[in-house]
Amino acid sequence: MATGNHMIRLTTTLAALACAALATVRGTDTPVSPGAAAPLDMLLAVVDLAGQTQRPFAGKEQRATVLFFVAHDCPVSNKFAPELRRIADEFALKGVRCALVYADPDLSAADIRQHVKEFALSVPTLAVYPDRAHALTRAAGATHTPEAVVVTATGHIAYRGRINNLYEELGSPRAVVTQHDLRVALAAVLAGKVPNPKWPAAIGCFISPLPSPSPSSKL
């Protein structure tokens, strides 16, 4: 299996919360204004587990795209596996494309396949994208696993944050989920409305950022 320690990730998350609150509460004061920021690159290409080039945001058939940023060794992320599958199955019927994004640069294709199988995420409604170079992570602004990012058909980010309130803080899952933030945001997008301008922060394991590509590397 790939190297990685969820305890290190959880510790890093706590440090990030204490030292840089912006990393987790960034969404709580960010207004949702699809027309205010430049849209994502609709032709952004990634390679899936089968080695095929895919364009997650392209295609006239989908009304929105949901990227689920997950990690194989994050217990919080794994706790959400059943809900990710339910959302993907339910909203696929409404024209929403869903995908799992693995941002660990050291995770092999075999490890991802094993994780998808172990947590019953191998379903037709969930695409799977290794994101070792963080192309999707940077484009979506994801910082934690699990984190959901909703991209509209025009390429604008309509929501970025938690899936629901199963976790209000690390280590303390709720017995009953009472707020289904992602589902509410998707319902608004599909109705042609703007979701609540307060994005509830994702709680989970911190995604360690990679160094930004230097200009010379693009030459």
CATH of the domain at 179: 3.40.30.10
Identify the residue with better confidence: 171 or 81.
81
In a domain, 217, yes or no: no
Residue 71 has pLDDT above 70, yes or no: yes
Separation CA 146–CA 164 (nearest Å): 10
Instruction: Encode pLDDT of 78-125 as tens digits.
Output: 999 999 999 999 999 999 999 999 999 999 999 999 999 999 999 999
The total domain count for the chain is: 1
In a domain, 214, yes or no: no
**Prediction pTM value:** 0.81
Residue 191, domain extent: 6-30+42-209
In a domain, 216, yes or no: no
* 40, 116 contact by CB (below 8 A): no
